[in-house]
């Protein structure tokens, strides 16, 4: 609460100093309907990009706005990339905690906007309710994730086993308590605002919580499935900015007037090239390619394995005859040897450079709809956390779906992991029931002529 | 489109005839902020409860409003209950189609309210986009459901197998197309409205599509898991109305001034009693208790099985010594024999009578927030489809969670069904890979000392 009011004061200060974005003024004239609301929002929400640490601000005071912004943005980009490197070094647990922290910050930023848009300062219970729903949905989703991976440990502790067996029921009860609480908190004067904010909260949950859950799932598949896509979005953002800054001429989309075709294309090509290079390097380290598993023997998470075929060089025949003849003529074998992962890396980089930016456009549109410049002011030169992560969420969902469609179906190792998930449920049964289950499985395989019992 | 404008005309007619609900007028005075929007909404949305077939209206013209409403409501309740019976007779497929139709109607009603609230008649693509998202999310959820149950058939047809293997990917691509379409359809003048409606559409999807998916899952568990909860909500609605009509004195909650404590308590007790009676009867028929499975031999869905222990009489020891002594003294055995399902039926009836009504309060609050009397005017005396199904969705989610927490974990039969789901994926592999998989499973069981190979 203290933080919010501090932020508000600072933001009002900015506006008072004449620091209003030109685009927004233009918009305000064209949208008559929402004029009053909109003025209010832009006055009370943090307008972060221009918030600069004092020391830096005075050091750069002689420069033009354009270059000052470029330098500040650059410095903080480097800081963030370094921070990202340190967190990766910290291992999967550090990454999961970071994902959770980022999720909470994004939720806070989105909810603060809702809070300001609907101008409700005395609305009963709203803030507590939003956070309550955040906690219950995280309880549900993180539980679903961790249960699968820590099944062995969990089954050893009795009270944890209860939490696992009734996980959905407990989560549902927690949610229903929030739901009943919401209904009881309804006050005649505020019905419409309360329902709007209820919807706002749920959309925020849908965006940040469900997608964080997918990010955590990706991490468990192996750090590479997290690092490569995240880096691709970062590379795309930076390179599009750089290309746009130096060569940008042709506007790309009305939503974000600063984005140009030159930035879009230059960023896209850089992402594909740098993405492939990066994938080539990191797919050679077990630390990055091995799925994360809980080792009962070591009592901690491990990332050691025989790398799957995705990360071992394979020979591919060139697809067309012309290409084969050409390569024979050049004295090559007509085949190409590479890591299969590079093909998947290509798909991801194409997605991140073609569809990824739409995540950004969507966020821009959202910000313009509510007449705010940024989601927050946490990162100087960048804005809020949500401003940097808008495309990351879209990308993480893509990677998750991609893995389940193209990686899991192809690898028997993965299938086995899934059966293990089922088996951990089987182990909750009495031994004789487990045995019976096994025989039923065996009979099924025999019946299909796959297994021939001696 | 034609339908909507027809509905609008009729609604305006109603208002012109002075047929405005008193409660709403009162609300309009207390909420200054939304006044203009609100007037518009109540003029353009169907106000359905009072829409009565002409023949019926003239036959009942001599009666007081209170009794006329009671009779119309009664007649249409009977018609609906009869319809429900006929659909059950039609079997699981008829029920699934009905669920889909109800879902689409509910979605339409919710979207129409959003359409009217935001007063956007020229908003680019909004209506098409909403329906597009409805189709893609249904494609995803129905696919997820049916894939599991028709795995055997699907794997035989090549192009269906592609649809299954890449189901998530295809659904995601369809969704992303809608997302990009939305971003491209953004028009400066309408930003705020477009985003509000985007959120509105997603909340509607969250309510109707995800929960319909859970309903379909419940149906597959056996018709009883669908019929009993649905009937409980119906019984609770009817009995609360009846008790409230004849004995209602003490107001229950400000949100719905017509609801009384007498109705709440009377409805609750009736639901528990009638729910148990009903469960006792229908848990004796295989048609209702057997899970629905696709029979390869018959080429159709079947509901024949050896009923699980839930539906076979079991002997229970009375819980306390006092009770046991009492029963011995009465010449009984100190045990009680009954269907275990009755205990689950009790849980469900308690939920449907204590928490169920909150679904109704929530819907009432929503309707009051947007100053509408009903969601639609499809059912005379009742309003829209959504007015009848508000609590059904909440109940279906409860039953789904209840089954996964208390029924699946207890029954090895169900666990086997889950392993079968995994196995159907295994059968997509080459035979030698399938075999390898089996041996890994066997070794795991041996390692745990459960299986002793001869």
**Closest Cα in chain B, distance from residue A388 (Å):** 19
Which residues of chain A lie closer than 8 angstroms to B414, CB-CB? Answer: none
Task: Please tell me whether residues B408 and B435 are part of one structural domain.
Answer: no
A339 or A304, greater pLDDT:
A339
Question: For position B412, what pLDDT does the model report?
Answer: 45
**A453 domain residue, yes or no:** yes
Residues 6+ apart with CB under 8 A from B377: B7, B10, B11, B46, B47, B48, B49, B51, B383, B384
Last residue of a domain, one of B379, B394, B412: B412
Is residue A454 domain-resident? Answer: yes
Asked whether residue B242 falls in the same domain as residue B305, the answer is yes
- For residue A188, list chain B residues with Cβ-Cβ distance below 8 A: 27, 30-31, 254, 368
Shared domain for B200 and B258, answered yes or no, is: yes
Whether residues B433 and A422 touch (CB distance < 8 A) is answered with no
Nearest chain B residue to A449, by CA: B431
Condensed to tens digits (0 to 9), the pLDDT of residues B47-89 reads 544 556 666 667 767 777 777 777 888 888 888 889 888 988 8
Top pLDDT among A366 and A45 is at A366
Report the pLDDT value the prediction gives residue A254, as an integer from 0 to 100. 81
pLDDT tens digits, B267-291: 999 999 999 999 999 989 888 988 8
Who wins on pLDDT, B326 or A264? A264
| Total domains present in chain B | 2
Position B36 scores a pLDDT of 37
Does the pLDDT at position A197 exceed 50? yes
In tens, the pLDDT along A343-385 reads 999 999 999 999 999 998 998 888 888 888 777 777 777 777 7
Let me know if residue A438 belongs to a domain: yes
Contact residues, B window 167-196, toward A, CB-based 8 Å cutoff: 167-169, 172, 176, 179-180, 182-183, 186, 188-189, 191-195
**Alpha-helical runs (H) found in A157-289:** 158-165, 167-185, 191-220, 224-247, 261-282, 286-289
Helix axes A22-30, A356-369, angle to 10 degrees: 60
Q: Domain residues for B454?
A: 413-454
B147 with B196, same domain: the answer is: yes
Interface check B358 vs A, CB under 8 A: yes
Checking if the pLDDT of A422 tops 60, the result is no
pLDDT at B406: 86
Work out the average pLDDT over A173-197. 89
Q: Which residues contact B437 (CB under 8 A, 6 or more apart)?
A: A412, A415, A416, A419, B426, B429
Q: pLDDT of B202-219, one tens digit each?
A: 999 998 999 999 999 999
Domain boundary residue, one of B380, B395, B412:
B412
Decide if B384 is inside a domain.
Answer: yes
One domain, residues B295 and B443 = no
Mean pLDDT of the region B206-233: 92
Q: Which residue of A has its CA nearest to B365?
A: A191
| pLDDT value of position A427 | 56
Q: Are A371 and A42 in contact (CB under 8 A)?
A: yes
Average pLDDT over every residue of A100-104: 91
Chain A residues with CB-CB distance to B404 below 8 A: 168-169
Q: Does A362 touch chain B (CB under 8 A)?
A: yes
Q: What is the pLDDT of chain B when averaged over all its residues?
A: 78
- The answer as to whether B26 is a domain residue is no
Give A391 or B16, the one with higher predicted confidence: A391
Average pLDDT over residues A17-36: 36
Interface list for A 197-236 with B (CB within 8 A): 199-200, 202-203, 206
User: Does A338 or A415 have the greater pLDDT score?
Assistant: A338
Q: pLDDT of A320-338, one tens digit each?
A: 777 777 777 777 777 788 8
Same domain, B138 and B241: yes
B454/B332 same-domain check: no
**Shortest CB distance from B425 goes to which of A415, A427, A451?**
A415
pLDDT higher at B25 or B349: B349
Asked if pLDDT for residue B382 goes beyond 80, the answer is no
pLDDT over threshold 80, residue A313: yes
pTM above 0.95, yes or no: no
Q: Are residues B165 and B67 in the same domain?
A: yes
Is B10 among the domain residues?
A: no
**Is A162 among the domain residues?**
no
pLDDT of A290:
87
For chain A, the 3-state helix, strand and coil shares in percent, each to the nearest 5, are: 70, 5, 25
pLDDT at B221 over 80: yes
Domain presence at residue A432: yes
Chain A residues with beta carbon closer than 8 angstroms to that of B366: 195
CA atoms within 13 A on the CB side of A66: 6
> Taking residues B91-96, what's their average pLDDT?
87
Which of B184-191's residues contact partners 24+ apart within 8 Å by CB, and which partners? B185/B124, B185/B125, B185/B129, B186/A255, B186/A365, B187/B124, B188/A27, B188/A30, B188/A31, B188/A254, B188/A368, B189/A30, B189/A31, B190/B120, B190/B123, B190/B124, B191/A27, B191/A31, B191/A365, B191/A368, B191/A369
Q: Please report, rounded to a whole number, the percentage of residues in chain A having pLDDT higher than 70.
A: 76
In angstroms, the separation between the Cα of residue B120 and the nearest Cα of chain A is 12
């Amino acid at each position: 609460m203290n933080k919010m009011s501090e932020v508000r004061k600072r933001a009002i200060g900015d506006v008072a100093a004449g620091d209003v974005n030109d685009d927004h003024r233009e918009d305000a004239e064209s949208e008559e309907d929402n004029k009053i609301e909109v003025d209010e929002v832009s006055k009370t929400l943090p307008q972060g990009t221009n918030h600069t640490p004092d020391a830096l601000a005075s050091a750069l005071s002689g420069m033009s706005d354009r270059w000052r912004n470029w330098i500040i943005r650059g410095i903080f980009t480097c800081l963030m990339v370094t921070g990202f490197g340190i967190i990766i070094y910290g291992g999967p647990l550090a990454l999961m905690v970071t994902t959770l922290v980022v999720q909470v910050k994004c939720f806070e930023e989105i909810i603060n906007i809702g809070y300001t848009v609907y101008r409700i300062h005395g609305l009963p219970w709203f803030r507590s309710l939003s956070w309550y729903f955040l906690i219950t949905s995280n309880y549900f989703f993180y539980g679903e994730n961790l249960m699968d991976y820590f099944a062995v440990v969990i089954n050893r502790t009795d009270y944890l086993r209860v939490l696992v067996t009734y996980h959905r029921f407990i989560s549902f009860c927690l949610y229903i308590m929030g739901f009943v609480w919401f209904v009881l908190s309804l006050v005649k004067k505020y019905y419409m605002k309360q329902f709007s904010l209820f919807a706002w909260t749920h959309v925020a949950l849908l965006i940040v919580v469900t997608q964080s859950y997918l990010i955590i799932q990706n991490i468990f598949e192996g750090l590479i499935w997290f690092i490569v896509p995240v880096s691709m979005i970062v590379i795309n953002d930076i390179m599009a900015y750089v290309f746009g800054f130096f060569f940008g001429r042709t506007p790309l989309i009305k939503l974000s007037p600063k984005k140009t075709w030159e930035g879009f294309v230059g960023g896209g090509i850089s992402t594909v090239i740098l993405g492939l290079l990066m994938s080539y390097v990191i797919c050679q380290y077990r630390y990055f390619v091995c799925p994360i598993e809980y080792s009962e023997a070591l009592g901690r998470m491990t990332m050691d394995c025989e790398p799957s075929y995705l990360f071992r060089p394979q020979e591919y025949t060139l697809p067309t005859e012309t290409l084969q003849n050409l390569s024979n003529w050049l004295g090559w074998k007509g085949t190409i040897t590479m890591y299969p992962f590079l093909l998947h890396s290509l798909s991801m980089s194409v997605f991140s450079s073609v569809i990824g930016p739409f995540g950004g456009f969507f966020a821009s549109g959202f910000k313009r709809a509510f007449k705010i410049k940024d989601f927050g002011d946490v990162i100087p030169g960048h804005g809020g956390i949500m401003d940097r992560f808008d495309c990351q969420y879209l990308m993480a969902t893509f990677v998750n779906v991609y893995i389940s469609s193209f990686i899991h179906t192809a690898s028997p190792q993965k299938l086995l992991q899934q059966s293990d998930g089922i088996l951990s449920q089987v182990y909750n049964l009495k031994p004789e029931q487990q045995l019976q289950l096994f025989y039923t499985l065996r009979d099924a395989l025999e019946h299909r002529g796959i297994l021939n019992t001696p």
